[in-house]
Amino acid sequence: MKTRLVENRQTANYHRSGRTDKGVSALGQVISLDLRSKLIGAAGSEGGPASEETPADRAPVSEELRYAHILNRVLPADIRVLAWAPAGREFSARFSCLHRTYRYYFPGGGLDLGRMEAAARLFEGTHDFRNLCKMDVANGVLNFRRTVLLARVRRVLGPDQEEEEGRREPGSPYGMCLFEVRAQGFLYHQVRCMMAVLLLVGQRLEVPSVVTQLLDIHSNPRKPQYSMAVDYPLVLYDCAYENLEWVFDSDAHAFNVTHLQAMWTQQAVRSQLLYSFLQGLGQAPHKLQADDGPDPLRDWGRAQPPQASQADSLLEGVRPRRYRPLMERERCEGLESRIRHYAKRGRIELPEGMREEEEEEEGRVRRKRRASRDGENGLAE
């Protein structure tokens, strides 16, 4: 609106591809909307009514308004337009998306990545994920079946592979890893719940087959109580579409690269400082050893068990002193109970099947009361 590219959000036909929580980042977020065009008149603009031309019929995109350049001049520093693409009127960033990919970054210190990978693969396929999300019943979400196309856990090399292998090799507590998951659609907090379970598996607190148990809603219709993973390592990494030709503005692209390099420099220096601090604390005095005399220093990096507890900081809440397995914990309120709760408050309507069950139950109660009254009247006579 500030750049006069749209009149307002309501008339701009605005859609966004994915939803991100507060604290979650997006690299591949895509939005669609009707913008003022230099080549095609948009409704409400000086160009007159919207044209019926398709993107293929229009003039070369090099003659179009420099959308990325215009918008990046007024956007906050942490939001940038990377490119734009002409699209037909039937296109929607939300409904035309083929699939979305999320990535969750985490250090591998103290984690069994083999177990995490085995557990992650069990997410693939079409399942009911009600035990691995926050059930958003109040907003009318009653179907929790989703299709996961890919779920993998792997290590991540640094920007300079040789330097990374020399300084912070992937096998060290400070080597970075990621959980990548691709699906046609996601539920509220689904990836963060999935990651929480994977972290428990990686810490050997749960076995990989716990994923199968959580996906079995017939045996486990109610979600065990557990904390989900924190938000900041999660990124909406990519959104896939057919027949989109992205247009990059060379000046805007150069500015984006420079801007991100500056941000990376600040964070990389801070990361290196912290790593140096940890190296400095890596050796410290410890108790005398009776067999071979005093040893003034101990290499805490090679301590057994390893002094690596990064995974604890990636789960919300406080870790209890005594761990209780997921399937032995208290259960959350079931789906049907939540549906009835919000239906009574008028937030949603009961599904037809549950409405019929309610009517049958009310009929049984009325018949029982009528029979009780008839029995009392007979005794009185």
Q: Which of 21, 216, 251, 374 is catalytic?
A: 21
The first and second tokens of residue 173, run together, are 């507590």
Largest Cα–Cα distance of the chain, in whole Å? 101
78 is catalytic: no
Alpha carbon distance, N-terminus to C-terminus of the chain: 81
Following CA atoms 144, 140, 222, 18 in sequence, which dihedral angle do they give, to the nearest 10 degrees? 50
Q: Please, is 6 exposed, middle or buried when counting C-beta atoms within 10 Å of its C-beta (0-12, 13-18, 19+)?
A: buried
What is the distance between the alpha carbons of residues 283 and 299, in angstroms, rounded to a whole number?
5
Distance from the Cα of residue 242 to its chain's centroid:
23
Residue 350 to residues 4, 140, 221, 333, Cα–Cα distance (Å): 44, 10, 19, 17
Torsion, Cα 214 216 217 221, to 10 degrees, reads -50
- Can you give the length of the chain in residues? 381
CA pair distance 170, 161, nearest whole angstrom: 10
270-304: buried (b, 16+ CB within 10 Å) or exposed (e) per residue?
A: eeeeeeeeeeeeeeeeeeeeeeeeeeeeeeebeee
Q: What are the DSSP E strand ranges found in the chain?
A: 15-16, 25-26, 31-32, 99-107, 125-128, 145-156, 176-183, 234-240, 283-284, 298-299
Q: Which residues are catalytic?
A: 21
